[in-house]
A and B are shown apart, each in its own frame.
Chain A
Amino acid sequence: MYKYIPYIWLTLSILLLQVFLIDNIDLGSSISVWIRPMIFPLIILLLPVEWKSIWVLIITYLIALTLDLMLGGSGIYVITLLPIALARTTLLYLTTHRTTESGDQTQLLARISVGQLMLYIGVSMLIYHALFFALETLSTASLMRLVVTTLLSTLCSLLLSWPIVRLFTSKVVG
């Protein structure tokens, strides 16, 4: 039970940060149309890769459901977060060429460099933001705007995620 406490803290902190701080930052209507950072995929990306997929999927579903209820997403957070939860081991392999080895009790995220970790998080965040904005607009009429919003929001999310990732990897994973 003791080993789960950091993850519970991480979940609560990121959710509160997203809902009460990031979503309420007023950048002005002309900027907020282009930049909408979302850092909550970090919760799923930083869960130990060694955990069974079924538990990760259930945890993701519960977190996404909470977000849907809190932010009025009507299911959009579940639709977009579940594929990330399912594909994160594949994404980790594609970005770092590392997989979990049987019998190895050390966390995989602790064995990769910070650069590789940020690459894995960056690619996952990019996919997440693209999925989210595509589903939100449901239109190909302004494709360029969709691409720019995705890129800017991902970049902004990564900048906001950086201190959290550093703190978490040094205190918990490491």
Chain B
Amino acid sequence: MHRLLEFIKRIYVVLLFVLLESIAIWQYATSSPYTEAKILSRTTAVGGYVSKKITNIDHFFALPGENGMLTHRVAELEQTLERERELLSDYTEESWQRKMTEEGDLHYRYYPARVASMTISHMRNYIVLDKGARDGIKKNMGVITPDKCLVGYIIECSERYSVAMPVLNTEFTMGGSLSMTNYTCSLRWAGESPYHIDIIDVSTYAQIEVGMAVEAWSERLPKGVIVGRIESFEHNAAKTAYSARLKLAADMSALNNVLIVENTHYGEIETLMDNIESQSKP
């Protein structure tokens, strides 16, 4: 104990320096979304490498579970392929040509990635993925689990890593839609439970019920990406819309492998929206 005190007495200036610098860096990093994303991507470039090595061990022990899921997915894809084959057998030569040309222009591309590090206990959580710009990852790509559950979207990329904003972030914004209906809603996370998310602005005409699935409604993602299932719902204060609490479909505390989704038409949509916005300005 005496030696420890002597040691602290010798380095207390450095300790104070580290403490004050850490507070200032934290303050600076959280001062704006830009610094937050930049500092996070820079620090995690190093930290991510170390985390990757450590998580490789976790991946090894998670292999049996992943194999089961992959087998399930392969079975699903085989079924889809079989359906496509049946459909194609009915095509005429002309429609076959048309179909092939359409399919050559893939609407969505999928990039498998692994979680290098992530947080779920803060108000603004982020996920660091082990794929970056050199793997073709760009901002605004969607992130889903292999079983098509919503995780978030990419907000920053470095050469080898990318940072995604998950649904568990109070600044996360995305639209949703009630499964099997045309009713849309907005997704919001209040910063409470990492297993739940809220939806707001659901039309009062919607036949909402407990257990109903809610899908993501965004240009970043294909149709059929599940956000979660409704656990409870109520009218808002003005009784003009429903708000509901969902149980998240993706287990954010056990994320391991994810798929990054690129909408190849996203740039075109974005340019179109920019044009409209610039035209509407006085």
Which residues of A does B touch, CB under 8 Å? 53-54, 57, 61, 64, 73-76, 78-79, 82-83, 86, 135, 138-139
Choose, from B14-22, B49-57, B93-101, B256-264, the stretch at the interface.
B14-22
Is B71 on the interface with A (CB-CB < 8 A)?
no
A81 nearest CB neighbor, chain B only:
B24
Residues in B neighbouring A135, C-beta threshold 8 A: 28
**A-B residue pairs in contact (CB < 8 Å), sample of 7:** A53-B13, A54-B12, A54-B13, A74-B32, A75-B25, A78-B23, A86-B13
A74 CA / B35 CA spacing, docked (Å): 11
Residues in B neighbouring A64, C-beta threshold 8 A: 24
Is B79 on the interface with A (CB-CB < 8 A)?
no
How near does chain B come to A93, taking the closest CB pair, in angstroms?
17
With contacts A57-B13, A75-B31, A78-B20 known, what are 15 further pairs, Cβ within 8 A?
A: A54-B13, A57-B17, A64-B24, A74-B35, A75-B24, A75-B26, A75-B27, A78-B21, A78-B24, A78-B27, A79-B25, A83-B21, A138-B35, A138-B42, A139-B38
Interchain CB contact under 8 A, B28 and A57 = no
Asked if A61 meets B13 with Cβ closer than 8 Å, knowing A75-B27, A79-B25, the reply is no
Is B241 on the interface with A (CB-CB < 8 A)?
no
B22 nearest CB neighbor, chain A only:
A79
How near does chain B come to A94, taking the closest CB pair, in angstroms?
19
B31 nearest CB neighbor, chain A only:
A74
Residues in B neighbouring A53, C-beta threshold 8 A: 13
How near does chain B come to A59, taking the closest CB pair, in angstroms?
12
A74 nearest CB neighbor, chain B only:
B31
Q: For chains A and B in complex, what number of residue pairs have CB atoms within 8 angstroms?
A: 49
A143 CA / B99 CA spacing, docked (Å): 49
Interchain CB contact under 8 A, A75 and B20 = no
How near does chain B come to A123, taking the closest CB pair, in angstroms?
20
Is B39 on the interface with A (CB-CB < 8 A)?
yes
Interface string of B171-196 (1 = CB under 8 A from A): 00000000000000000000000000
Residues in B neighbouring A73, C-beta threshold 8 A: 28
Asked if A82 meets B17 with Cβ closer than 8 Å, knowing A54-B12, A138-B42, A139-B38, the reply is yes
A57 CA / B32 CA spacing, docked (Å): 27
Residues in A neighbouring B38, C-beta threshold 8 A: 138-139
Residues in A neighbouring B42, C-beta threshold 8 A: 138
Interchain CB contact under 8 A, A61 and B20 = yes
Residues in A neighbouring B20, C-beta threshold 8 A: 57, 61, 78, 82
**Which residues from 233 to 268 on chain B have a C-beta closer than 8 Å to any C-beta of chain A?**
none
Interchain CB contact under 8 A, B17 and A86 = yes
A74 CA / B23 CA spacing, docked (Å): 11
Partner among A54, A74, A79, A139 whose Cβ is within 8 Å of the Cβ of B21: A79
A73 CA / B17 CA spacing, docked (Å): 19
Residues in A neighbouring B16, C-beta threshold 8 A: 54, 57
A137 nearest CB neighbor, chain B only:
B38
Interchain CB contact under 8 A, A79 and B28 = yes
A138 CA / B28 CA spacing, docked (Å): 12
Residues in A neighbouring B31, C-beta threshold 8 A: 74-75
A76 CA / B29 CA spacing, docked (Å): 9
For A64, A75, A86, the residue with the greatest tally of chain B CB atoms inside 10 Å of its CB is A75
Residues in A neighbouring B21, C-beta threshold 8 A: 78-79, 82-83
